[in-house]
Structure 1
Amino acid sequence: MIASYTRNVNMFWNKKHNPYINFFVSIGAGLNQIPLIREAKKHGFHVIGVDTNPLAPGFMHCDLKIQESIENHEDIYKKLIETLFDGRIAGVMTKSYGIAIRSTAFLAERFNVPYMPLSRSEYFINKKLMKDLFLQNNIRTPEIFALPSKNRIEKIEKKKFPIIKKPVIGHAKVGIHFLKNAADLKKHWPETQEKEKVLFEKFINGDEIIAAGIVHKRRFHLVDITDKETTELPHFVDIMHMSPSRYYHLFDEIAGIGQSVADAFNIANSPLIMEFVLDDDGRPCLIEAVPEFGGEFLTDVVIPARTGYNFIGEAIKANTDTGFKPPLRKKARNAVVVKYITGTSGTLLSFNPDGPKKMRNVIFSRIFKEIGAEVNRPETNLDRLGVIITRDKNPETALAAAEQASESMQIRIKK
């Protein structure tokens, strides 16, 4: 892929006023990266955006763009070296997932930005490696099963079910199956070539929560906990997040788990998002963790709106060593609800994006699909149609406002 560069002439050539430039690299320049790019600009960095799409919307906010796949970290590195004739890389971050984490770790090592070792990045991409590291470090996590041969499925104890089948590498709840008995397991038994690509996990029928924090100089700082709701089984589509969590009494325990994760993965400076399920005893079991900002609008919308803490801004300060301020534990000022809009299968005929904007409690809304798009009943997070985020005095009134705002979008689907 050929690199494409866009320079601000004054920035690069007026060295009388800019003798040395601090660059910040954003791995990815899509729509979801824009909050990270804008925040880095606000903190005085000159942002280099990397994306394979020449029309990536985040590029318009960058000082320099490199058109390259975020998977090609060696090529990105070479192009960055060619570019850095009058500055240095002060920070490297991503608001994406998977391979973007590997590229971020690779570049951070090359430019001496404390993040985490490249070797550890694979443990966040491969869920089996992640689970193994959890267990090695005594981090509670749902049990993983080593299954017998297919002709011995009937001998599996009934109490082992239900089981979750999930891909070792994946996101957005794609490829996840709920197996309630041996017959379901036979139906979803992996082919020989697939066995290393899936894992089987004990299903825990408990409430789910998300914990968001920042690791700074190897110390984990828990910022907030949110409750999560999903669609009914057999799918696990995220349809709602609520803050503050009903489980704030677990704050110290979850903060301790976050520190254990930071230690196990040798994280120096990074955001850290953790997904938990509560077991029968009300104890948090860690499903997975990611060293980036996560999705679901939690770090860029929910946390700032509810707590006043600039999560992305402080994570950038931690990454660039420019005056990070840890969060303060405060009483809840208000409640914030993230409600995802779902629908039936068919063709999206129309919607009214301006409906929610007229409501005082709505702080964010977005439709993910275009008119004429084929849409589906929610089986993965990619099937969601849009999102509404509301804020009010308590969770009940914030939820009511979200329901009303959702109706105001007037979404029509032709079956």
Structure 2
Amino acid sequence: MRKTLIVIGAGMESIPILKKAQKMGLHVLAVDANPQAPGFAFAHEPIIGCVYTPEITVAALTLWSKKGGKPQGVICAAVDAPGTVAAVADHFGLNAVSMETSRLATDKIAMKDRFRKRGIPIPWYREIFSAEELTRIIAERRETMVLKPVDSRGARGVLRLVYDSPEMPDPQWAFKYSRKESPSGRVMVEKHLDGPQVSTEGFVVNEQPFCPGFSDRNYEFLDRFAPNIIENGGDLPSFLPQDMQQAVKELSGQAAIALGIENSMFKGDMVVHEGKPYVIEMAARLSGGYFCSHEIPWNTGVDFVGTAIRLALGETPAPEDMRPSFQKGVAQRYIFPKPGKVISIEGVEKAKQMDGIHMVEIRTAVGEMISPATSHPARAGVVMARAATRAEAVTRVKAAIDAITIITA
């Protein structure tokens, strides 16, 4: 009898996880609030639930189980929903992160408090409750700060406040803007640490961390999108020296264990500041942006999603299955058209035919409106390239991006 895997999330970026689960011979349930979610086409059974409301999803799955169904695993795909995964796992007795770990991973103040207590290097931070408090902190610290919602995702409401700069937004506006993106109405501020930023992704198995995912994050458009902080893909393998890469990986594992992650996956936002690694944030889930499903396997040979699914089913992967067997070049960039109504989309087929281009995904269409890029979901498309080296992958992805034109008016 086939094992059943519950996949929380059925959006576009969930499709590779759903397809992988089917390829592994599993019976796949996909949960999403959108009846038209594209991932439903790649699941055996669609379940109308809610990615970010655990009780709704548990109720929907309980109803499903009364028909005789019994799940063996649960995982979330390209959505920051460890709380829903934990609730489903708790209800059905499955392997996943605990409710406490899911809380720590989605409440940035609770997360930072735990890291501080465990001695994990992090930026200075503080929860704030008014624009006046923000104004006072800026005046006292006189340095670049990051303002963010305590419990949002996808860079929504995240602002870079450059001290004594013409681009510094009004604190009253900034506080309201950030708070609006917090489901609980909570806001925090932290010191902005200059230096290379890195995305890590790995597993903790029997208290031992493995970190095959390691990508240099690209923030070339900081000035263009200021004060919003919008990432523009990334490059693999890293340009950082091997000893620093190892230090970042070790810190990622320590941070994951500090959150209570065990026999599950983690995703770290890291920075190397003045020669020392720091944790910005740590998530208890698979990444979005095709990092876990495409970039890590292309870069390292590690079947990351397959390993994550095996852990969700209660299996124990072999250590060699979680360690890179090579380091090949991968580069990813996003498409940011000018805001307005899409008049035409040109050059897509040309880009797809270019050497080394392995993904061109356009997320808009003629007639749709392009809003100003204030968070990661605003990206209008993504392109990914592969090559023997990082430099060649970057050259290829830039050429493909240049070939695509989305005209707006």
TM-score normalized by the length of structure 2: 0.87
- Specify the alignment match of 1:232 in structure 2: 222
Matched, 1:294 2:287: yes
1:208-247 equivalent positions in 2, closer than 5 A: 208-230=197-219, 231-233=221-223, 234=226, 235-247=228-240
Question: Which of the numbers 249, 262, 268 marks the counterpart of 2:256?
Answer: 262
Q: Deviations over 1:116-136 (max 9, x none)?
A: 211221222221111111111
Q: CA deviation at 1:402?
A: 1.1
Equivalent residue of 1:403, what SS? helix
Cα 1:131–1:37 change in 2 (3 A) is same
- Residues of 1 paired with 2:251 and 2:138: CA distance? 32
Question: Which of the numbers 352, 355, 362 marks the counterpart of 1:360?
Answer: 355
**Greater Cα shift, 346-355 or 309-318:** 346-355
| Amino acid in structure 1 at the alignment position of 2:210 | H
Cα 1:370–1:154 change in 2 (3 A) is same
- Specify the alignment match of 2:307 in structure 1: 314
Q: CA deviation at 1:56?
A: 1.5
Matched, 1:380 2:375: yes
Matched, 1:252 2:284: no
After TM superposition, where is structure 1 displaced by more than 4 Å over at least 4 residues in a row? 146-149, 151-159, 182-185, 193-196
Equivalent residue of 1:351, what SS? strand
| Amino acid in structure 2 at the alignment position of 1:210 | S
**Greater Cα shift, 379-388 or 136-145:** 379-388
Matched, 1:304 2:285: no
- Specify the alignment match of 1:74 in structure 2: 55
Q: CA deviation at 1:263?
A: 2.3
Q: How many residues align?
A: 391
Equivalent residue of 2:200, what SS? strand
CA contact 2:268–2:281 (8 Å) conserved in 1: yes
**Greater Cα shift, 85-94 or 33-42:** 85-94
Choose 1 or 2 for highest CA Rg.
Answer: 1
CA contact 1:390–1:401 (8 Å) conserved in 2: yes
Cα 1:217–1:40 change in 2 (3 A) is farther
1:6-405 equivalent positions in 2, closer than 5 A: 20-84=1-65, 86-98=68-80, 100-145=81-126, 150=132, 153=135, 159-181=141-163, 184=169, 186-188=171-173, 190=175, 197-230=186-219, 231-233=221-223, 234=226, 235-247=228-240, 248-280=242-274, 282-326=275-319, 327-332=322-327, 334-352=328-346, 353-405=348-400
Q: Unmatched 5+ residue regions in structure 2?
A: none
Equivalent residue of 1:359, what SS? coil
CA contact 1:145–1:202 (8 Å) conserved in 2: no
| Amino acid in structure 1 at the alignment position of 2:5 | F
Equivalent residue of 1:250, what SS? helix
Cα 1:249–1:188 change in 2 (3 A) is farther
Q: Deviations over 1:252-290 (max 9, x none)?
A: 32332233223222222222110112212x211111111
Q: Unmatched 5+ residue regions in structure 1?
A: 1-19
Q: CA deviation at 1:314?
A: 0.9
CA contact 1:52–1:68 (8 Å) conserved in 2: yes
Cα 1:269–1:160 change in 2 (3 A) is farther
Q: CA deviation at 1:383?
A: 2.6
Cα 1:184–1:66 change in 2 (3 A) is closer
CA contact 1:218–1:262 (8 Å) conserved in 2: no
- Residues of 2 paired with 1:75 and 1:189: CA distance? 33
Q: Deviations over 1:326-347 (max 9, x none)?
A: 3234442x21100111122222
- Residues of 2 paired with 1:151 and 1:398: CA distance? 45
TM-score normalized by the length of structure 1: 0.86
Cα 1:113–1:217 change in 2 (3 A) is farther
Equivalent residue of 1:89, what SS? coil
Q: CA RMSD in A?
A: 2.6
**Greater Cα shift, 152-161 or 165-174:** 152-161
| Amino acid in structure 2 at the alignment position of 1:204 | L
Cα 1:155–1:131 change in 2 (3 A) is closer
| Amino acid in structure 2 at the alignment position of 1:341 | I
Q: CA deviation at 1:380?
A: 2.2
- Residues of 1 paired with 2:404 and 2:249: CA distance? 38
CA contact 2:301–2:325 (8 Å) conserved in 1: no
- Residues of 2 paired with 1:139 and 1:155: CA distance? 23
**Greater Cα shift, 152-161 or 173-182:** 152-161
